[in-house]
Chain A
């Protein structure tokens, strides 16, 4: 080996050693936080925003000095709207990157796909989107709304304020709308609505030809009783649905539509003038008028360098989830998942709708429920707000088989589906 080559090898070895060392040093100084949101594929439209909001929160926390004296380091992966890939990427985050907590998923099927991975490897997942309930996992924290925090208050509002007697439950054909509609149907029947006054309709993902269904709704709505549509239509199918409503001249004063999946972000792609008065139920609206929310919107616009960017409910859920995690880690004094999972229960942080949200023993949080009417500028006019906070109910009280179940992950019980009638825990996690 020539001298030159030798010195080259030595230099390379030193360089490699240094970089290894510095990597090790860095690993000690930072806490990794996983972000598991689709940045490509069909769900990118909704999930990209959540990745951005997480990056903003982490940057902000680092400016405040990080957590436990260490900087946070975001690890962003792209599961590309592909459900099996979600599980794979989750495994990668937990085993390879050893993240302390993960924030991610949008659709229920992606959550179901990563659930066993998080349970097997004892990870922590914060799930920020409203969902159908009927699930409880030791390793998942649900910061979005359960059906009783969104769907049921919305139906109550329509019954009381709009005196609705006939109901169209329209949804995209997958697990969230199917379960939510099952719960709503049971709830409406319990309230004395007759079966012939409920119309249930499912459409495929990305359905774009709404002519027949909208004209059916119109027909159903002209039976002499006040009619409303409860929409669990998901994603891209909403735009052609609302366009068709507008084209066929159905106004919110005739047949109001209350949607659970349409927020500020979704309205940004539509001309909202024909939609004025249609409703949405969420736990947060950008138009909530309080200083916390104003500051948050300002930060978000500066961070994205876009004065037109809007905020929405799942973003607020991530803000709550992230702040809860930071508080729990500081309380536990470690990022060890088992300790943090225990510390998270009972943690309270301010939400952006005014008030404090608390993590309950069933891994769901307390939230206010707001009903908003669409305004001409794509924002919502808040027409109703629950006086107090509503506790997320994972096992619906209106469904056979789940009404006797409760979930309590605190020490002696530590069970996700405890049956209060038989006094037995049904197993680790039943989906």
Chain B
């Protein structure tokens, strides 16, 4: 009798252990126990175990691990999720532990673990309610080519309603099949067709192995698909070069456009032009620091707030420079060059003393971060905005010059100073305001450049030579010339770079400009008429 009872109890226990929920709990516990270690191999294996349970607790824990919030207590091997407010949740049960764990350490992560995490989360979140999350999961599975994710993918595909997510899931499934050792040739050929739809580098890299050592029929399909993608990418790469060139050109234009006024229109060789750009960038830094500490909510507006301030700061320094130094040196270009160069060194060292020699961090507002895909072309938002911004600055400057009374006076003074003075224009006043305008625009350029370059005291130096190059090439005194010169130099540079390399490309461009100036000393669009002789 007693034996029978014992036997029954044992049977019941065995049944309970066989029952799926209990078995899963045991797996989950084992996997969590395994993750509480310093050893990367163990951690990686534990992630695989967690993913295999398919449990939503595992998904939560893995997500926390991606965010660096999964911790463990080495003494008890307990695994916890650390919340932002410092409290803990037991990763196994999802409830707060009775007493806070002692001396926890974050679970160690390196690139290999991060890759394993992405793949695991991908297969675990394929059924998430949020379509964006499902899309990310499908992309992750596509990248990991995880054969183990195939069953989960099939389930998810059957339920999926969103067309875009469904397409990526189909591609992910095809990628996994291509990686599956025992897939039939027919399956593989079908998968190749699906993946080929992507038409991008990722697809190409999937075919690389098949082209080398697949079965003949698979090999042929991969070759054809890869050939089509390669042709498409070749066309795309010239479009991409034009875009990169435009974006480099607009950076050059932004840096040079202020100089087109001070050097081009007024004829002042202003070596401190780069430092005006630098001052603009530092203004952005100061504005961001203030916003960060006082009004964090306004951070996305920081560039818009910095723009007028940068214009005012650089413009004011420009007016001061003109009134205190340059006006005594009109008509003596060599001395102007030396004096402004000295000023540029003073400004650099002043900024270095005030802000330190290190680079300062200028953040990107959220609308400028990241990139998007345009017909297979990766376009980064930051660059796009700079192109747009550059066009706006150029248009605004043209408007000031052509359609305002200040612009009229400015043109009058540069064309015939004495006649303009006879008409009652206060030429010294116009001079300093014009110089201020040129410097202010350099400051605005600094706001934009702070987004793509270092904000350091040397920022300006790297642009001064390029700026002079653009203005001289485009033709002194002509804004449209500056525009054409900047864009053509930018695009030429980007087409040269893949063949000649960045160093030789730059040299070739310089040689070209030197030869060009020999032939046409006044640049692309030379001014004609009496103003030139004056």
Contact = CB atoms under 8 A, between A and B. Distances in A.
Interface of A: 39-42, 44-45, 48, 161-162, 173, 201-204, 206-209, 211-213, 215-216, 218-219, 222-225, 236, 239-240, 243-244, 247-249, 252-254, 256, 265-266, 268-271, 277, 279, 373, 376, 381, 383
Interface stretch (B8-16, B318-326, B355-363, B435-443): B355-363
A383 B43 CA distance: 14
B179 to A, nearest CB: 11
A339 B6 CA distance: 88
Contact of B115 (A201, A240, A253, A268): A253
Contacts of A381: 108-110
Contacts of A254: 143
Interface string B188-209: 0000000000000110111111
A418 to B, nearest CB: 36
A239 B503 contact: no
Contacts of A247: 369-371, 380-383
B503 A215 contact: no
Contacts of A213: 497, 502
Contact of B357 (A44, A202, A240, A271): A44
B118 A253 contact: yes
A383 to B, nearest CB: 5
A162 B241 CA distance: 32
Contacts of A277: 110-111, 114
14 contacts: A45-B359, A201-B501, A208-B452, A211-B494, A212-B494, A215-B240, A244-B380, A247-B381, A252-B114, A265-B358, A268-B359, A271-B363, A277-B111, A383-B110
B307 interface: no
A45 B456 contact: yes
A277 B363 CA distance: 20
Nearest to B211: A224
A61 to B, nearest CB: 25
A222 B207 CA distance: 10
A107 to B, nearest CB: 15
Contacts of A204: 502-503, 506
Given A203-B503, A269-B358, A271-B361, A249 B378 contact: yes
A40 B352 CA distance: 8
Contacts of A265: 358
Interface stretch (B243-251, B265-273, B419-427, B467-475): B243-251
A243 B114 contact: no
Given A40-B348, A209-B251, A247-B381, 20 more contacts: A162-B112, A173-B503, A204-B506, A207-B502, A208-B462, A211-B494, A212-B244, A212-B502, A240-B452, A247-B370, A247-B380, A248-B380, A253-B115, A253-B118, A270-B359, A271-B361, A271-B364, A279-B111, A381-B108, A381-B109
Contacts of B111: 162, 252-253, 256, 277, 279, 373
B241 A212 contact: yes
Contact of A224 (B206, B358, B360, B452): B206
Interface of B: 40, 68, 108-112, 114-115, 118, 143, 201-202, 204-209, 240-241, 244, 247-248, 251, 348-349, 352, 356-361, 363-364, 369-371, 378, 380-383, 452-458, 461-462, 493-494, 497-498, 501-503, 506
B231 to A, nearest CB: 15
B384 to A, nearest CB: 11
Contact of A202 (B143, B240, B503): B503
Contact of B454 (A202, A240, A244): A240
A239 B248 contact: no
Contacts of B115: 253
A211 B244 contact: yes
B178 to A, nearest CB: 11
Contacts of B349: 40
Contact of A212 (B364, B370, B453, B498): B498
Q: Which of A207, A208, A256, A266 has the most CB of B within 10 A?
A: A208
A269 B453 contact: no
Nearest to B507: A204
A212 B381 CA distance: 16
A40 B358 CA distance: 11
B68 A222 contact: no
A216 B498 contact: yes
B458 A42 contact: yes
Most chain B CB inside 10 Å of its own CB: which residue of A219, A222, A252: A222
B458 A373 contact: no
Q: Which of A212, A215, A271 has the most CB of B within 10 A?
A: A212
Contacts of B361: 268-271
A208 B244 CA distance: 13
Nearest to B68: A376
A215 B359 contact: no
A265 B454 CA distance: 14
Contacts of B453: 208, 239-240
Contact of A209 (B68, B206, B248, B371): B248
A383 B247 CA distance: 38
Contact of A269 (B204, B206, B360): B360
Contacts of B114: 252-253, 277
Nearest to A45: B357
B378 A215 contact: yes
A222 B357 contact: no
Nearest to B361: A269
A135 to B, nearest CB: 24
Contact of B455 (A41, A162, A269): A269
A105 B381 CA distance: 40
Given A202-B502, A269-B359, A271-B363, A44 B247 contact: no
B183 to A, nearest CB: 17
Contacts of B506: 204
B250 to A, nearest CB: 11
Nearest to A378: B361
Given A236-B454, A247-B380, A256-B111, A224 B205 contact: yes
A227 to B, nearest CB: 10
B205 A212 contact: no
B359 A218 contact: no
Contacts of A161: 110, 112
Contacts of B381: 247
B527 to A, nearest CB: 31
B110 A45 contact: no
B456 A236 contact: yes
Contacts of A218: 201
Given A239-B359, A277-B110, A222 B201 contact: yes
A224 B209 contact: yes
Contact of A222 (B112, B204, B356, B497): B204
Contacts of B112: 161-162
A202 B109 CA distance: 32
A81 to B, nearest CB: 9
Contacts of A236: 359, 454, 456, 458, 462
B358 A45 contact: yes
A44 B248 contact: no
Contacts of A162: 111-112
A219 B208 CA distance: 13
Nearest to A40: B349
A202 B205 contact: no
A215 B462 CA distance: 23
A212 B251 CA distance: 15
A328 B502 CA distance: 47
Contacts of A48: 356-357
A257 to B, nearest CB: 11
Nearest to A223: B208
A-B pairs, top 10 by smallest CB distance, nearest first, are: A269-B359, A224-B208, A222-B201, A222-B205, A247-B380, A44-B357, A203-B502, A211-B244, A224-B205, A206-B462
